[in-house]
Amino acid sequence: MKRRPVQGLMAAALLVTSLWSASPAFASSRLGEEVKIDVSQPEVDKAGFDISADYAVWMVEGEKTITLYDLDDNSETQIGNKSSAKTSPRVDGNYVVWIDSRDGGTDVYMYDVSKKKESLVSSGSKVTQLEISGKNIVWDDKSDKGTDIYLYNITSSDVEQITNSGEASNPSVGDTYVAWQDERNGNYDIYTYNLKTKAEKAAVTAKGDQVNPSISEDVIIFEDQSGEYNQVSSYDIAKSKTIKLTDDSSNKSLPHIFDTDFVVIDNGDLYFGEATKTGKRKAASSIYDKLQPRIYDDYVLYAKKDKDSKIRLNLYDIDEKESIPLGEVSGEPSQPAAHDRYVVYISGGNRSDSVILYDVEKGTSKSITKVDASPSRPLVSNHYVVWYDDSEDALFSYNIAKGTTKQVTDEDDDQLPDEKLYKLDGDNLLWVNMDGRPELNVTNLDSGKDTEITTLKKDPLSIDLYGNFVTWVQEESSNKASVYLYDIDEEDDTQIRKNVQVKEAKLGDNFVVWSEYTDTTKPSWDIYSYDIDRGKTASLLRYNDRDQINPQTSRNMMLFEDNRLSPNSKTFYFELYDVEDGSYSDYSWDDEAEVEEATIGGNRLVWIDKRDDDPYVYTMAISDPKDDDDGEEPSNPDPEPEPGDYKEYGILGLMSDGTLSEKMNEAGFDNFVFVFYPGTSKEKTMSLSDAFKNMDNFADLFVSTDLNEINVRVYK
């Protein structure tokens, strides 16, 4: 069947559009191309931010979703749709609220963190300010009658208008009271509303303006603009008493209170103090003074401009008297590892290190360890990340699909893993139990089942796991060791190299490789290999002089260090070798690369590079990725979506109104599905991800089907 030219071009254009609109990182990650993983602290939008006991919220410059940051495990979640403008994100408990323009106005939306559910709170509104405390949300709403304050109770879903002056704005709410500024008498005064008695009261009605109230319990802190310089005062509702907290020759602005502690901007610097007595202490200099700092317990969240005038978030610890960047996963990187879609590495922090997981397809990264962890040597597969935690003397795993962390080993179960001797392959983790005589164990991370491989005479020099095989190097005597291969299905081990000088062995597709010292007239380290099917050992790379050391493997490829072409024998460089083809790879680093800690995993290389002075993680794909580690379906595949789990659109309609790329962006590669001949016996479906893998098949389907018989499904 001939392809219709116009639809053929449209099919190609669809794929190109999705590449650039849905996943620029994936589009640019071509074979042999270096990708710099730059996950520096995000530039914050001027929409505002907030902090509570468990979470912080903010918006990244140029994005329309809200970042929900878990303060306990450093993880980030994007909430809110990707198309509407948002401002004033606030958080308390398990609720996030913000002002949203998606319905044409500026309405209040709420997100329940525990239920992962978003809901509309106000409709047809013109909201400029809002706050949340416990189960209470307050906002100001401008109408033809002026601006008034509204209260929403999350438990009852009741909305109540609590002012009628038409001059009320800038509300703040606590458990018992609402406070706001009100211009009903010609200048701004502070008013309160008792949530229990439903009574309004004028709280502070001094000369000049009193603005920007912030309430906690029955104490209000506010900005007093009655004098030459703006000062900060507090008002005790129970005692009807005002205290002037500052009285000096500088302007104060945007105060915020938690319990009895407050923060304020003073002439561009950040200060904190107590709302019950005068005086303040400096916390940080030269902060961004257009955004209100937010305080919760002992932490203050504030914004600061960097040398490039970009706004960054910082967290000040009042007890420790120090500031740290928030939302930053770009501490000095080390110990990188990779596998197809993912890269992991250690990010060095001021107080603790973190494991960073980078998604190559999405171009996104996140910390997956808790702030009090002491992780090292992370490994990654398409399903899991594994690391050793020094503070717990245990191995931990992170399920990438579920976003959950689990402790794999436990001292209470007589499990004491070696901090370096463990390997990850798919869902299986090979590790050495050092509690007593060393034992080789394989733990299936899906089921939690442990399988003992063997008990060793002494600590192995190296271990490796790939598919159905395990290999290890066992020291036999001084400078002599043997290489062993274990077949997991057959439960049988074979000594494949005996009493040679060898340090480690690695597994690949049907082979084992190692570097062996050859003591001849020109002694050197050479690469040897063992063919698993044939049961034969042979020299793989052996030269008359110099050394080939530290081989690493992934599938059919081997990365090793060589010094044959170096001016001196102590200087090594990396080589990439295809064991299956018996040839060196054409892929190489950039001439300016300064490579350290290079490793190979899955279809890619990953390394630390100092070409830009500061160290960064770089990666390079050297082959096409595999869908899964063993080419089979995951052991626990997600169920097929029910009809209610997606929305279906006609492709002509999306192309006509220009929203096709927007839907692709929202759904992603796997959740955007083309439906050909929908609702008929000829119905065929193909996800955007599959379309890239089978472009000819997609083009054939696209050009052989009338456009009015093509739908797209956007799965949740």
Q: Which of 298, 328, 358 is the last residue of a domain?
A: 328
Per-residue CA distances from 535 to 484, 485, 486, 494, 502 (Å): 12, 11, 13, 10, 19
* Integer Cα distance of 346 and 139 in angstroms: 43
Task: Tell me, yes or no, whether 651 lies in a domain.
Answer: yes
Q: Which of 273, 294, 328 is the last residue of a domain?
A: 328
Write the pLDDT tens digit of every residue in 5-47. 444 445 545 554 444 433 333 334 588 999 998 766 678 899 9
**Residues 68-80, mean pLDDT to the nearest whole number:** 82
pLDDT of residue 681: 66
- Whether the pLDDT of residue 350 is over 90: the answer is no
Between 330 and 247, whose confidence is greater?
247
Amino acid at 554: S
**Residues 502-510, mean pLDDT to the nearest whole number:** 96
312 is in which domain, residue-wise? 206-328
Task: Tell me, yes or no, whether 657 lies in a domain.
Answer: yes
* Integer Cα distance of 138 and 52 in angstroms: 17
3-state secondary structure 235-248: EECCCCEEEECCCC
pLDDT of residue 403: 82
pLDDT of residue 215: 98
- Whether the pLDDT of residue 635 is over 80: the answer is no
Task: Tell me, yes or no, whether 55 lies in a domain.
Answer: no
**Residues 407-431, mean pLDDT to the nearest whole number:** 95
pLDDT of residue 193: 98
Domain with residue 222: its CATH number is 2.120.10.30
pLDDT of residue 19: 42
Task: Tell me, yes or no, whether 318 lies in a domain.
Answer: yes
Number of domains in the chain: 2
Answer whether 512's CB lies under 8 Å from 485's CB: yes
pLDDT of residue 329: 54
**Residues 185-201, mean pLDDT to the nearest whole number:** 97
Q: Which of 282, 311, 328 is the last residue of a domain?
A: 328
Task: Tell me, yes or no, whether 23 lies in a domain.
Answer: no
Task: Tell me, yes or no, whether 173 lies in a domain.
Answer: no
pLDDT of residue 44: 87
What is the residue whose two structure tokens read 């203050």?
Answer: 300
Task: Tell me, yes or no, whether 337 lies in a domain.
Answer: no
Contacts of 653 (CB under 8 A, 6+ apart): none
Write the pLDDT tens digit of every residue in 554-585. 999 999 999 998 999 899 999 999 999 999 99
Tell me the pLDDT band of 638, cut-offs 50, 70 and 90: very low
- % of the chain beyond a pLDDT of 90: 64
pLDDT of residue 330: 54
Mean pLDDT over all residues of the chain? 88
| Helices 695-703 and 5-22: angle between axes, nearest 10 degrees | 130
pLDDT of residue 532: 97
Answer whether 616's CB lies under 8 Å from 38's CB: yes
Write the pLDDT tens digit of every residue in 120-168. 999 989 999 999 999 999 999 998 899 999 999 999 999 999 999 999 9
- Whether the pLDDT of residue 316 is over 60: the answer is yes
Task: Tell me, yes or no, whether 685 lies in a domain.
Answer: yes
What is the residue whose two structure tokens read 């005479």?
Answer: 457
Pair of tokens at residue 67:
């970042």
Compute the 3-state secondary structure of the chain and give helix, strand, coil in percent, each to the nearest 5: 10, 50, 40
